[in-house]
């Protein structure tokens, strides 16, 4: 880890907190589990929910018989879709990406029809979790099955089976961004017509499952006409507004609390059916209720991510100057539109041009309904898909032109001197130096040596071939300038709020609207405030996640917390200092203009020995015995920050990959990355985010895929078949940084939460391809299972479809069997 910027230490002043690799203050309680996860909540009289879920992908519900379940021991009530049909409304979709986008509506519980495996069809309410679970098997649902709709390319054809029979087609929207029409670039058709070379590819972004560590959990407590909703969510603030609108509970009667939340990766950036159902049941029964999902439910029903088919055309001249980029995307919405389902591919629309100076660019995207779990945000949301497409097609173009992939990139990327640079997608990139990051990454990985070894192995026809792959990426962070969101028809703003409360003992409470779910906000915010106020790191407590404490916020996603929420904290601190200055001047009998503020103390310039600390001022203000006339006796402050632009972290990721050509097994040999995330507040947190992100991006390249069989069952219904790699499967990461502060951001930070995940995937795939291109392989579909790699070598093509059957472990624990279909007595053994 190289931080090129030295923290400035002025003599006498304490060392700056910002830039220190502080260990995360929240980790002790998070890692040891000594905290209140939602599922730990126990309330007097609390009832437990279990959900009966559809075992079929697409069917009309002809009958639901709940009588046996109602009789079951400990069961208080059983509800079906009919019971809530009048009051459940529709789960919200906040992002109508086109004016004529078709939204079929999203019931929290199916009434007449189910459209994906795992959809709720009945809710059991019981006195214990066990009793609720036992009754699930007793609900008898009759389904009149319809053909599943699984393949997007088929689903958009005329006469295709419709997911929603009341709609005209399976297409939700057709979104177009044309750089020419937007005035950001030239005419794309013309650029392609005049180009020397056009390379076209079809890439598949497989469906992924966010797989956060803490399963989702909801508790609702009704008290009078007030409701408190605890949820393992990333977005308590947004959830409050949305849940109020869906259920009709007035917003001021609904308090939402996200206690410590164990990961989300976008997977908890939603308003989920179970949150609404819990509110509806609690309202009906006037009793506290809890729902906690099983891991199988989570894999099957928590929203999925990615799932695009990308048709990419790139145009260039013979020398390798890119001339145009055309992207046509099919984006799988799944069965319904959730909170930002349609917006995910649209977030990517502006990133397909990557770091390159395309003179022309056109993007088209169809949102397509299928009978699968809805998709929505997953770490990177739209940007990994875009980055993959551009970084893969650049390699394909390099092959076509017989150019070194890095040379081609160099020829076309934005040079350091050209910032700020407005791309063909209309975004103004703020700062950076792609060459510097690339140089550093090449050194970290030992590039020349690896290329030499690659040559040796080629020549000796070694069964294990070596490949090297690049991803020189950027991304847009800091969601988001509210006006930009408005122009994209997003349903909310992108500002963030913070407030600071100065307690009488001089301790500091920071209230943030960016609700963390594992990122380390408490530590980073404490570092920011410690520097701004000159108070010890330990004297700062960060409060979050409760709408009664943190009344306004836009929560955590899109690498926005530090870049937007952190700035709000700094702005609030500046206001505290300004208010304290007035009181300090009064106490020191000096003019405000004559005061210096360093190390937390106001002193009169030129008068050594005088001084009053901000912590003393806090006490003086609390007592309020002696303060200036005409001001309020408080130095507390709040601030709301709305960014003016996105920020654009960038970096170069390089992967070296061994490919066993006999078996198709790929193994990462070395991985180096240099990321520019602007100002680094805490290097340890930054490195942690990079490590986790790179791991997740590698996981997409090599391991993870949500697979549905021909009937629409999720066959990767457990972690036996949905392969999430662990540390044992991943290489050492050589990480580094360059620092170009974000000019538009008061902290100078660019955001790091998604960078690793966005950057790494194409580097890994490019590396594998580089190892076997000489064997005639030009594409391998993700994840690069050994079988696919072997087939691509043996048979050409992209490795093809995998067989959809689950493996034998746990008897192939597929969705069908975990969906509440009654199972006969023990079937473990030969009788299965």
Partner 1 sequence: MIPAAFAYARPTTVDEALQAVASGGEDVKIMAGGQSLIPVMRLRLAAPETVVDLTRVAELRGVREDDGAIVIGAMTTHSDVISDPLIARYAPLIAEATETVADRQVRHRGTFGGALAHADPAGDLPAVALALDAEFVVAGPGGRRTVPAAEFFVDYLTTALEEGEILVEIRVPKREGWGMHYEKFNRVAQAWSIVAVAAAVRREDGRIAEARIGLTNMGPTPLRATAVEEALAGVDATAEAVAAAAAHAAEGTDPSSDLNAQADYRRHLVTVLTRRAVSTAAGL
Specify whether the CB–CB gap between 755 and 649 falls below 8 A: yes
DSSP-derived secondary structure for 530-585: HHHHT--GGGEEEE-SBTTTS-S---S-TT-IIIIIIHHHHHHHHHHHHHHHHHHH
Cβ neighbors of 570 (< 8 A, separation 6 or more) are 528, 532, 746, 747
Q: Cβ 218 to partner 1, closest distance in Å?
A: 17
C-beta closer to partner 1: residue 572 or 666:
666
Neighbours of 730 (CB within 10 A): 17
Coil, strand or helix at 249: coil
Cα distance between residue 78 and residue 86, in whole Å:
17
Q: Cβ 309 to partner 1, closest distance in Å?
A: 21
Asked if 487 interacts with partner 1 (CB under 8 A), we say: no
Q: Cβ 143 to partner 1, closest distance in Å?
A: 20
Q: Cβ 728 to partner 1, closest distance in Å?
A: 4
Q: Cβ 117 to partner 1, closest distance in Å?
A: 15
C-beta closer to partner 1: residue 195 or 657:
657
Specify whether the CB–CB gap between 385 and 308 falls below 8 A: yes
Burial of 16 (0-12, 13-18, 19+ CB in 10 A): middle
* 32 phi-psi bin (left φ>0, alpha ψ -120 to 50, beta other): alpha
Q: Cβ 77 to partner 1, closest distance in Å?
A: 20
Asked if 38 interacts with partner 1 (CB under 8 A), we say: no
Please list the residues that pair with 292 across neighbouring strands.
217
Asked if 712 interacts with partner 1 (CB under 8 A), we say: no
User: What token pair was written down for 71?
Assistant: 């009789």
Q: Cβ 801 to partner 1, closest distance in Å?
A: 10
Asked if 74 interacts with partner 1 (CB under 8 A), we say: no
CA neighbor of 731 nearest in space, from 754, 698, 703, 708: 698
Site string for partner 1, 121-150 (x = CB under 8 A): --------xx--xx--x-------------
User: What token pair was written down for 634?
Assistant: 């408080």
Cβ neighbors of 727 (< 8 A, separation 6 or more) are none
Of residues 140, 151, 729, 734, which one binds partner 1 by CB under 8 A?
A: 729
Asked if 206 interacts with partner 1 (CB under 8 A), we say: no
Asked if 732 interacts with partner 1 (CB under 8 A), we say: no
C-beta closer to partner 1: residue 7 or 33:
33
Asked if 721 interacts with partner 1 (CB under 8 A), we say: yes
Asked if 295 interacts with partner 1 (CB under 8 A), we say: yes
Site for partner 1 in 652-691 (CB under 8 A): 662-663, 665
Q: Cβ 814 to partner 1, closest distance in Å?
A: 10
Cα distance between residue 760 and residue 472, in whole Å:
9
Cα distance between residue 661 and residue 464, in whole Å:
6
Asked if 811 interacts with partner 1 (CB under 8 A), we say: yes
Site residue total, partner 1 (CB under 8 A): 51
In the 3-class helix/strand/coil scheme, how is 77-129 assigned residue by residue?
Answer: EEEEHHHHCCCCCCCCCCCCCCCCCCCCCCCCCCCCEECCCCCEEEEEEECCH
Of residues 790, 792, 793, 798, which one binds partner 1 by CB under 8 A?
A: 790
Cα distance between residue 219 and residue 648, in whole Å:
38
Asked if 226 interacts with partner 1 (CB under 8 A), we say: no
Please list the residues that pair with 182 across neighbouring strands.
none
Asked if 151 interacts with partner 1 (CB under 8 A), we say: no
Site for partner 1 in 768-787 (CB under 8 A): 785-787
Point out which span in 167-175, 590-598, 628-636, 724-732 binds partner 1 (CB under 8 A): 724-732
C-beta closer to partner 1: residue 103 or 715:
715
Asked if 723 interacts with partner 1 (CB under 8 A), we say: yes
Cα distance between residue 574 and residue 556, in whole Å:
23
Cα distance between residue 145 and residue 124, in whole Å:
24
Point out which span in 86-94, 529-537, 569-577, 820-828 binds partner 1 (CB under 8 A): 820-828
Asked if 802 interacts with partner 1 (CB under 8 A), we say: yes
C-beta closer to partner 1: residue 343 or 806:
806
Asked if 460 interacts with partner 1 (CB under 8 A), we say: no
Asked if 357 interacts with partner 1 (CB under 8 A), we say: no
Of residues 233, 310, 716, 766, which one binds partner 1 by CB under 8 A?
A: 716
Contact positions toward partner 1, by CB under 8 A?
A: 129-130, 133-134, 137, 294-296, 662-663, 665, 703, 707, 715-716, 718, 720-721, 723, 725-726, 728-729, 785-787, 790-791, 802-813, 817-818, 823-830, 832
């Amino acid at each position: 880890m190289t931080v090129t910027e030295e923290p400035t230490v002025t003599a006498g002043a304490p060392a700056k907190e910002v830039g220190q690799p502080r260990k995360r203050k929240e980790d002790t309680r998070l890692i040891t589990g000594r905290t209140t996860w939602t599922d730990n909540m126990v309330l007097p009289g609390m009832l437990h929910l279990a959900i009966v879920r559809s075992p079929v992908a697409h069917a009309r519900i002809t009958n639901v018989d709940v009588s046996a379940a109602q009789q079951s021991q400990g069961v208080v009530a059983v509800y079906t879709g009919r019971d809530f049909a009048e009051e459940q409304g529709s789960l919200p979709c906040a992002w109508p990406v086109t004016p004529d986008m078709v939204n079929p509506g999203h019931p929290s519980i199916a009434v007449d029809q189910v459209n994906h495996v795992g959809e709720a069809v009945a809710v059991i309410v019981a006195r214990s979790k066990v009793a609720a679970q036992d009754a699930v098997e007793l609900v008898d649902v009759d389904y009149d099955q319809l053909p599943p709709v699984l393949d997007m390319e088929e689903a958009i054809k005329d006469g295709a089976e419709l997911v929603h029979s009341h709609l005209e087609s399976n297409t939700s929207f057709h979104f177009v961004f044309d750089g020419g029409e937007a005035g950001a670039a030239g005419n794309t058709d013309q650029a392609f017509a005049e180009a020397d070379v056009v390379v076209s590819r079809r890439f598949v972004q497989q469906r992924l499952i966010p797989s956060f560590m803490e399963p989702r959990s909801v508790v609702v407590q009704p008290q009078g006409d007030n409701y408190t909703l605890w949820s393992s969510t990333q977005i308590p603030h947004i959830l409050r507004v949305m849940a109020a609108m869906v259920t009709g509970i007035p917003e001021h009667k609904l308090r939402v609390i996200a206690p410590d939340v164990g990961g989300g990766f976008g997977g908890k950036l939603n308003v989920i059916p179970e949150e609404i159902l819990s509110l509806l049941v609690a309202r009906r029964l006037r009793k506290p209720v809890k729902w906690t999902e099983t891991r199988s439910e989570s894999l099957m029903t928590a929203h999925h991510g990615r799932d695009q088919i990308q048709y990419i055309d790139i145009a260039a001249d013979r020398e390798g100057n890119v001339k145009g980029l055309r992207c046509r995307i099919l984006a799988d919405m799944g069965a319904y539109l959730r909170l930002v389902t349609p917006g995910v591919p649209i977030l990517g629309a502006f990133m397909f041009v990557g770091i390159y100076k395309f003179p022309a660019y056109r993007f088209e995207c169809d949102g397509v309904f299928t009978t699968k779990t809805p998709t929505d945000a997953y770490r990177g949301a739209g940007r990994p898909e875009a980055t993959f497409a551009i970084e893969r097609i650049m390699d394909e173009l390099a092959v076509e032109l017989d150019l070194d992939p890095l040379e081609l990139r160099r020829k076309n990327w934005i040079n350091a001197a050209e910032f700020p640079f407005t791309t063909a997608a209309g975004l103004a990139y703020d700062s950076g130096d792609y060459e510097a990051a690339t140089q550093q990454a090449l050194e970290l990985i030992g590039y020349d040596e690896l290329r030499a070894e690659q040559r040796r192995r080629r020549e000796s026809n070694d069964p294990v071939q070596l490949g090297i792959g690049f991803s020189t990426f950027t991304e847009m962070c800091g969601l988001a300038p509210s006006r930009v969101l408005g122009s994209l028809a997003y349903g909310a703003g992108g500002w963030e709020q913070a407030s600071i409360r100065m307690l009488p003992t001089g301790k500091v409470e920071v209230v943030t609207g960016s609700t963390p779910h594992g990122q380390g906000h408490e530590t980073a915010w404490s570092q920011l405030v410690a520097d701004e106020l000159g108070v010890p790191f330990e004297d700062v407590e960060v409060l979050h996640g409760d709408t009664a404490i943190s009344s306004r916020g836009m929560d955590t996603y899109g690498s926005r917390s530090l870049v937007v929420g952190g700035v709000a904290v700094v702005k609030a601190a500046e206001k505290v200092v300004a208010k304290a200055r007035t009181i300090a001047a009064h106490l020191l009998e000096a003019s405000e203009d004559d005061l210096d503020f360093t190390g937390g103390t106001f002193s009169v310039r030129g008068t050594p020995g005088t001084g009053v600390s901000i912590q003393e001022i806090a006490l003086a203000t609390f007592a309020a015995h002696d303060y200036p006339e005409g001001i309020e006796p408080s130095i507390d402050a709040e601030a709301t920050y709305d960014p003016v632009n996105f920020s654009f972290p960038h970096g170069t990721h390089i992967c070296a990959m061994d490919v066993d050509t006999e078996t198709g097994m790929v193994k990462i040999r070395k991985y180096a990355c240099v990321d520019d995330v602007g100002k680094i507040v805490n290097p340890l947190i930054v490195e942690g985010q990079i490590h986790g992100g790179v791991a997740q991006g590698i996981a997409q390249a090599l391991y993870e895929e949500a697979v549905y069989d021909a009937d629409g069952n999720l066959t990767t219904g457990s972690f036996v078949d949905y392969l999430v790699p662990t540390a044992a499967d991943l290489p050492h990461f050589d990480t580094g940084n360059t620092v170009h502060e974000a000019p538009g951001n008061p902290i100078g930070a660019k955001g790091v939460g998604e960078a690793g995940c966005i950057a790494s995937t194409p580097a890994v795939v490019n590396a594998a391809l580089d190892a076997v291109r000489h064997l005639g392989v030009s594409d391998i579909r993700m994840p690069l299972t050994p079988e696919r790699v072997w087939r691509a070598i043996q048979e050409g093509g992209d490795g093809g479809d995998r067989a959809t059957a689950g493996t034998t472990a746990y008897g192939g624990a597929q969705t069908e069997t975990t969906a509440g279909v009654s199972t006969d007595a023990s079937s473990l053994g030969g009788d299965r």
